[in-house]
Amino acid sequence: MTCAKILAAIYARLGKSVQTFGDYAGERSGAPIRAYTRVSDTQVTNRNKVYEPDHVLVLDQTLLGADAVAGLAEGGLLLVDSEGGPEELASRYERFRVATVDAKAIGEGLAQTGHIALYGLTFASDSASLDPGSQPTLVQMAKVLGEQPALKVYIVGHTDSTGNLAHNLDLSQRRAEAVVAALAKDYHIAPTRLLAKGMASFAPVASNDDESGRARNRRVELVKQ
């Protein structure tokens, strides 16, 4: 519930209409089993449960199951607080973008493969403006960089193949630069340790023939220099 309220406060500061409420196992008994944050450009006037969320954040991995992703649209973001990397969950939830938020997982991914996809970094449609929901991932990225002061990385932006290639190259570059700027300004990571690069659709990790694949291809990767 606290996390939902923090997200609501961030969006409220951006001028959005927000509403946060809990979903209880019994009528107002005990702690809520789920919490919802509704964000809208227009005034929120009802208090209905959010049946079709765009993002699902799971704070306890033991609660992962069909109920956890109920209503989540294909290609929606499933963000899990886990020490493991997203690869171990991706096969179970192929219809969704899967991301884990944990500094240890990011560090291990870099050490093992030299790169890691960070699906928790999201942007407004066709924009390089980072969504407020990207903050947990930025915090964990900054933690890894803070714990390894000699580490230098590329921040690499990727898009799907929809639209004009030149436009997507520019968009992916600006998105990578936005992540670099956020890490430097908000988390005091030296810009000399960060290099932004936009790759557009040149390095897909899935087919661009369906939305599920395109959602996996739209990503930012952290790559060890």
Report the helix count and the strand count for the chain, using DSSP H and E.
Answer: 6, 9
What b/e sequence results for 93-108 when a residue is b if at least 16 CB atoms lie within 10 Å of its CB, and e otherwise?
Answer: bebbbbbbbbbbbbbb
Instruction: Provide CB contacts within 8 A for 212, sequence distance 6+.
Output: 74, 75, 94, 95, 96, 206
**pLDDT score, position 196:** 97
Higher pLDDT, residue 156 or 84: 156
How far is Cα 167 from Cα 150, in angstroms, rounded to an integer? Answer: 34
3-state helix, strand, coil in the chain (%, to 5): 35, 25, 40
* Residue 60 near residue 39 (C-beta atoms within 8 A): no
What b/e sequence results for 65-79 when a residue is b if at least 16 CB atoms lie within 10 Å of its CB, and e otherwise?
Answer: eeebbeebeebbbbb
**Overall average pLDDT of the 110-128 stretch:** 89
Q: Is the pTM of this model over 0.75?
A: no
181 pLDDT band, cuts 50/70/90, is very high
Any idea where the domains of the chain sit in the sequence? 51-224
Judged against a pLDDT cut of 60, whether residue 111 lies above it is answered with yes
- CATH number, span 51-224: 3.30.1330.60
Across the chain, what does the average pLDDT equal? 83
**pLDDT score, position 56:** 80
How far is Cα 50 from Cα 170, in angstroms, rounded to an integer? Answer: 35
**pLDDT score, position 1:** 66
- Specify which of 8-12, 124-128, 132-136 reaches the highest per-range mean pLDDT: 124-128
**Overall average pLDDT of the 206-217 stretch:** 89
163: left (phi over 0), alpha (psi -120 to 50) or beta: left
Q: What percent of the chain has pLDDT over 70?
A: 86
Q: At what angle do helices 135-147 and 165-187 cross, to 10 degrees?
A: 60
